[in-house]
Amino acid sequence: DGGQQRQKRGTGAMAGAVAPVVQQPMVASSVQIQEPMASEQEPATDMDPSRLYRLLVESVRDYAMFTLDPTGHVMSWNPGAQRFKGYTADEIIGRHFSTFYPEETKHTLPPLELEIATRDGRVEDEGWRVRKDGTRFWANVVITALREDGRLVGFAKVTRDLTERKRAEERA
């Protein structure tokens, strides 16, 4: 799919067609576009804000950015996520995000993180995560609850690979 961010639409177990995530109300509702104040300059582009947002998400390579449904199943996937974790969108969309956790935490930490994000609005964590090829990397993870009209509709998950920093700290 050329590394574009993808999202499955439909009912049940994530069945249905594949479409860009920015067309979904869940993600679009999390984007806040502010009108420029009179003293501010007009934007240098006439690009639609939703297209600009999609370009942002699709262009970021240093962060894994994706969405989860309310039960923790992957709904969208950006090129940074593919680069960090090794899965294509077609391979990972519909799978539970516990896939990224090592065996010793995959049954306890993911549900706890979703519980905290649901209750507090977000959760941040650092720890080992697992790539498709089985190698581990040290990750900083932020999971944010996505709500529409007060109802939980999913989660945004942003991951940074901090393995090099972790190795430097261990050498020091």
Average confidence score pLDDT of the chain: 80
Strands 136-148 and 122-130 come out as antiparallel
pLDDT of 147 reads: 97
Helix, strand and coil content of the chain, in percent to the nearest 5, comes to: 30, 30, 40
Ramachandran assignment for 171, one of left (phi > 0), alpha (psi -120 to 50 degrees), beta (any other): alpha
Structure-block tokens of residue 83: 């680069």
Between 152 and 62, name the one with better pLDDT: 152
Ramachandran assignment for 21, one of left (phi > 0), alpha (psi -120 to 50 degrees), beta (any other): alpha
Question: 85-96 pLDDT, tens per residue?
Answer: 999 999 999 999
Tell me the whole-structure pTM to 2 decimals.
Answer: 0.71
